[in-house]
């Protein structure tokens, strides 16, 4: 089956209002008889839940969203790729709906709001190894400016 994509050319990205992520815990915890607990990482790849809202400015956008949901991603059962803003920036993420969306809800005078929870295939974090270089992470905007502005032309 071919990869499925959210129709970004026709529909808006999710709203920032109420936008948030809730990672599924990768930890397993065992309570010991001494009162202490032992915990360990059980999984290295865990999904993340994202609370999403869309604000459709036209009836046509609302119609397209519902048709795309129903036909293209099989009423939310299929995985698809969608641009989402995370601390890593705006990137494509593999996701799917956890259940049907709420809406359309009329927002006066003629707008439509949809809300849903998406499950992201993996948690949006930097790749392994980057934690060893905190200066590069914190100063990445300065490095980006320096490299792109001051680097000699090749």
Inside any domain, residue 121 = yes
Q: Which domain holds residue 40?
A: 20-127
Q: What is the pLDDT of residue 58?
A: 93
Preceding omega of 84 cis (within 30 degrees of 0): no
Residue 61 maps to a domain: yes
Q: Domain count of the chain?
A: 1
pLDDT score for 34: 92
In a domain, 141, yes or no: no
pLDDT along the chain (154 residues), means of 10: 91 84 86 91 84 93 97 96 91 95 91 94 84 78 63 59
Per-residue pLDDT tens digits for 9-53: 999 998 877 788 888 888 888 999 998 999 998 877 788 899 999
Has residue 6 been placed in a domain? no
pLDDT of residue 143: 60
What pLDDT, on a 0 to 100 scale, did the predictor assign at position 138?
79
Could you tell me the two tokens for 50?
A: 């994202």
Report which DSSP code applies to 69: I
Instruction: Give the C-alpha separation, 84 to 122, whole Å.
Output: 13
**In Å, how far are 91, 123, 134, 137, 146 from 129, measured between CA atoms?**
20, 16, 10, 11, 23
Does residue 152 form part of some domain? no
Q: Residue 38: which CATH number?
A: 2.40.30
């Amino acid at each position: 089956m071919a990869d499925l994509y959210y129709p970004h050319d026709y529909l808006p990205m999710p709203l920032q209002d109420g936008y948030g992520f809730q990672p599924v815990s990768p930890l397993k915890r065992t309570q010991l008889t001494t009162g202490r607990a032992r915990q360990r990482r059980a999984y290295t790849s865990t999904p993340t839940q994202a609370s999403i809202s869309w604000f459709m400015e036209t009836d046509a956008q609302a119609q397209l969203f519902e048709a795309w949901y129903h036909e293209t991603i099989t009423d939310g059962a299929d995985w698809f790729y969608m641009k989402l803003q995370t601390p890593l920036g705006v990137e494509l993420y593999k996701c799917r709906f956890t259940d049907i969306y709420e809406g359309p809800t009329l927002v006066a005078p003629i707008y439509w709001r949809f809300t849903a929870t998406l499950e992201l295939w993996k948690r949006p974090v930097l790749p392994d190894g980057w934690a060893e270089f905190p200066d590069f992470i914190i100063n990445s905007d300065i490095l980006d400016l320096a490299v792109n502005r001051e680097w000699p032309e090749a």
